[in-house]
């Protein structure tokens, strides 16, 4: 068993010197959008100059999903989101 001695102020300060909130590291993408460092750009899907995320396919998938959801709502007799917007 290790008997730990009471830490003196110097040791406590040394340990706590690493305990601080880090600011978000943001950088600007080559497309001009603000993105987080070491993360792919959310607007063009590029990381390190290469396209990592297929943004077009992703938005198309989202639109298809919305359409399917709306159809299901209509069939069940509920008011869909687009009809809500019209009224």
Give contact residues for Zn ion (rule: CB under 5 A).
29, 31, 33, 41, 44
How far apart (Å, rounded) are the C-alpha atoms in residues 81 and 66? Answer: 10
Least separation in angstroms between CB 43 and Zn ion: 5
Q: Which residue's CB is nearer to Zn ion, number 29 or number 73?
A: 29
Q: Which residue's CB is nearer to Zn ion, number 44 or number 53?
A: 44
Least separation in angstroms between CB 46 and Zn ion: 5
Q: Which residue's CB is nearer to Zn ion, number 32 or number 77?
A: 32
DSSP of 6-73: PPPHHHHHHHHTT-SPPPP-EEE-TTS-EEETTS--TTT-EETTEE-S-HHHHHHHHHHHHHHHHHHH
Least separation in angstroms between CB 22 and Zn ion: 23
């Amino acid at each position: 068993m290790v008997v730990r001695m009471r830490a003196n102020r110097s040791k406590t300060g040394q340990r706590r010197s690493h305990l601080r909130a880090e600011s978000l590291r943001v950088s600007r993408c080559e497309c001009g959008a603000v993105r987080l460092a070491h993360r792919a750009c959310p607007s063009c899907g590029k990381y390190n100059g290469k396209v990592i995320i297929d943004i077009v396919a992703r938005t198309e998938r989202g639109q298809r999903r919305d359409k399917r959801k709306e159809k299901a709502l209509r069939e069940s007799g509920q008011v869909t989101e687009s009809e809500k917007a019209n009224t």
